[in-house]
Amino acid sequence: MRDWLAYTVLSLGLPWGLAHVRAARADGVAAAEGVGIPVLEARMADTRDSYRDYMRTTSALVPWPPKRA
């Protein structure tokens, strides 16, 4: 994930750099809301007993400090 952010920052100096920023944002939104995280979390919650506790205390995309249980 960090690599994609670095490529996005580096592309700002290019003629079509803003298009890369928009593409990276769309990719992040798709992963967070569309196809990636929700599907994976639903499957993990169904197959692993303690994963629901993990989901309740951990941020899905941004590495924030742990939430209180």
Q: Which amino acid, one-letter code, is at 22? A: R
What is the model's pTM?
0.45
What pLDDT does 69 receive? 62
What pLDDT does 13 receive? 81
User: Which segments of the chain have a pLDDT < 70?
Assistant: 1-5, 31-32, 69
What pLDDT does 2 receive? 58
What pLDDT does 1 receive? 52
Dihedral sign computed on CA atoms, order 43, 46, 47, 50 = positive
What pLDDT does 3 receive? 63
DSSP state letters, the chain = -HHHHHHHHHHTTSTTHHHHHHHHHHHHHIIIIISSHHHHHHHHHHH-TTHHHHHHHS-SSS-PPPPP-
